[in-house]
């Protein structure tokens, strides 16, 4: 295991590049990303048993703490993890959370035998970070239940361990957080599993309103039906929005009058793929990337990073993109979308619901009543999206860049602040 301080820039899609093809009145397009700087800390790791590689990148510490999930996928790279850590730092700042941003990743297929053993050895070697400075959670390829099992075996209680130690009564705080995590929404779903998707749904509803559409008449296509995409689909369906296209690894399902989202989500397996035997006969089964060209108001990329590339922009028919995955749109794609008049609501706002909720829970600002959590997230998410799209319509400012503005202001306000957990 090696430790490198300030290893260099992991810049990628979260910091879209400056434009060169706009008129002088759109100069705000060239505003630089205030979070585009080298991370504060980095750990590179190699598993002594399998040779699998992993990384922890801590982009920003606030009050000595950083938060960010742990992902596992074949082909994961250091640059990917560094970019995601930077996005996480932007996300926590965008919601004014008193914590910095980090990310961890393992270059390993989560379906491979012994994957959980690799994860446990990774965390065992990173134990000093987990004990003092880094709070982690589920991410692509890693379920929260797997994290909790590994943390229990390591004697760390829960993945919020480092934050718990800031409390004057860690045992009481742990019990309060556990009660909050065990809370269920009105459909009986664990709040911690669905709050992120609920936030994406609220971002979509706000985007539809900003586009001048009645949200109940809006149409949405969602790429990915895992925790985030599936949750967004569920709550959009509940709000009366027609989800006409969804895509998993096996392909795209399309129906112009709207899909039966509850039935399709119930047919998912552990890896977020829908059993095709449960798909009604009147639903079209299309190639996986067909979801990008679906004739909808809103496109929600909720699967993998870098899914929307420059070469795919010409096929996109949506009026706006709401990013639910981490870094799903490349800088070049976002620039071309802007030329076509298609705004992108950035990931570090749209998919921040779970991170924001976890810290509200830790700080005792929400509890076991799901309506309190939904109400706060709905208010904050819709307000931020409305602000960004108003700046897009009236000031010719990319939503990502207006969001950088309020995120940077929040981070500056948090400088030097001591983090306390009640």
Q: Is there a domain that residue 45 lies in? A: yes
Q: Are residues 171 and 197 in the same domain?
A: no
Q: Are residues 170 and 212 in the same domain?
A: no
Per-residue pLDDT 10s for the chain (422 aa) are 333 333 333 333 353 333 323 333 334 445 578 999 999 999 999 999 999 999 999 999 999 999 999 999 999 999 999 988 998 999 999 999 999 999 999 999 999 999 999 999 999 999 999 999 999 988 889 988 899 899 999 998 778 888 888 899 988 998 998 899 889 988 888 888 899 999 999 999 999 999 998 988 999 999 999 889 999 999 999 999 999 999 999 999 999 999 999 999 999 987 789 999 999 999 999 999 999 999 999 999 999 888 999 999 999 999 999 999 988 999 999 999 999 999 999 999 999 999 999 999 999 999 999 999 999 999 999 999 999 999 999 988 999 999 999 999 999 998 877 777 88
Among 182, 214, 230, identify where a domain stops.
182
pLDDT of residue 17: 31
DSSP run (H or E) holding 406: helix 399-414
> What's the farthest any 2 CA atoms get from each other in the chain?
59
DSSP run (H or E) holding 106: strand 100-107
DSSP code at position 203: H
pLDDT of residue 19: 30
Q: Are residues 219 and 363 in the same domain?
A: yes
Q: Are residues 211 and 228 in the same domain?
A: yes
User: Which CATH number does the domain housing residue 397 bear?
Assistant: 3.40.50.720
Q: Is there a domain that residue 88 lies in? A: yes
Q: Is there a domain that residue 407 lies in? A: no
Q: Is there a domain that residue 417 lies in? A: no
pLDDT of residue 409: 93
d(CA 16, CA 8): 18
pLDDT of residue 352: 95
pLDDT of residue 31: 59
Q: Are residues 36 and 126 in the same domain?
A: yes
Q: Are residues 232 and 377 in the same domain?
A: yes
Q: Are residues 175 and 199 in the same domain?
A: no
Q: Are residues 355 and 213 in the same domain?
A: yes
Question: Three-state DSSP class for 161?
Answer: helix
Among 142, 163, 182, identify where a domain stops.
182
Q: Are residues 142 and 237 in the same domain?
A: no
Q: Is there a domain that residue 204 lies in? A: yes
Total structural domains within the chain: 2
Q: Are residues 120 and 139 in the same domain?
A: yes
Question: Three-state DSSP class for 68?
Answer: coil
Q: Is there a domain that residue 178 lies in? A: yes
Q: Are residues 288 and 166 in the same domain?
A: no
Number of helices followed by number of strands (H, E) in the chain: 14, 14
User: Which CATH number does the domain housing residue 119 bear?
Assistant: 3.40.50.10860
Token match 């690799």: residue?
118
pLDDT of residue 27: 41
pLDDT of residue 130: 95
Q: Is there a domain that residue 243 lies in? A: yes
pLDDT of residue 139: 87
Q: Are residues 202 and 150 in the same domain?
A: no
Domain membership of residue 274 as a residue range? 191-401
d(CA 62, CA 137): 18
Q: 232 is written with which tokens?
A: 């967004």
pLDDT of residue 202: 98
Q: Is there a domain that residue 1 lies in? A: no
């Amino acid at each position: 295991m090696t430790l490198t301080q300030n290893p260099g820039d992991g810049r990628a899609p979260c910091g879209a590049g400056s434009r060169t093809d706009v008129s002088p009145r759109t100069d705000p397009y060239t505003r630089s990303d205030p979070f585009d700087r080298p991370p504060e800390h980095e750990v590179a790791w190699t598993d002594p048993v399998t040779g699998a590689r992993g990384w922890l990148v801590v982009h920003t510490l606030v009050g000595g703490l950083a938060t960010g999930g742990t992902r596992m996928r074949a082909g994961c790279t250091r640059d990917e993890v560094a970019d995601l850590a930077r996005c996480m730092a932007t996300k926590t700042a965008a919601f004014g959370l008193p914590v910095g941003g980090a990310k961890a990743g393992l270059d390993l297929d989560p379906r491979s035998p012994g994957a959980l053993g690799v994860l446990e050895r990774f965390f065992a070697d990173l134990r000093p970070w987990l004990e003092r400075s880094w709070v982690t959670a589920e991410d692509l390829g890693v379920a929260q239940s797997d994290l909790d099992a590994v943390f229990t075996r390591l004697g760390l209680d829960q993945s919020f361990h480092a934050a718990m130690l800031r409390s004057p009564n860690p045992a009481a705080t742990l019990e309060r957080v556990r009660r909050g995590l065990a809370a269920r929404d009105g459909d009986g779903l664990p709040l911690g599993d669905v709050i992120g998707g609920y936030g994406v749904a609220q971002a979509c509803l706000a985007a539809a309103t900003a586009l001048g559409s009645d949200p109940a008449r809006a149409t949405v296509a969602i790429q990915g039906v895992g925790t985030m995409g599936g949750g967004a689909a569920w709550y959009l369906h509940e709000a009366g929005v027609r989800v006409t296209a969804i895509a998993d690894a096996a392909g795209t399902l399309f129906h112009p009058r709207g899909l039966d989202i509850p039935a399709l989500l119930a047919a998912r397996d552990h890896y977020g793929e829908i059993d095709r035997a449960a798909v009604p006969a009147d639903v079209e089964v299309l190639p996986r990337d067909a979801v990008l060209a679906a004739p909808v108001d809103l496109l929600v990329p909720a699967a993998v990073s870098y899914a929307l590339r420059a070469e795919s922009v010409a096929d996109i028919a949506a009026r706006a993109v709401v990013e639910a995955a981490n870094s799903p749109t490349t800088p070049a794609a976002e620039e071309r979308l802007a030329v076509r008049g298609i705004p992108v609501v950035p990931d570090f706002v749209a998919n921040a619901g779970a991170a924001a909720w976890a810290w509200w829970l830790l700080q005792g600002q929400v509890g076991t009543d799901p309506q309190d959590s939904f109400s706060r997230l709905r208010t904050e998410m819709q307000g931020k999206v409305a602000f960004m799209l108003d700046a897009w319509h009236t000031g010719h400012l990319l939503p990502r860049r207006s969001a950088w503005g309020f995120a940077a202001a929040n981070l500056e306000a948090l400088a030097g602040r001591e983090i306390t957990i009640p």
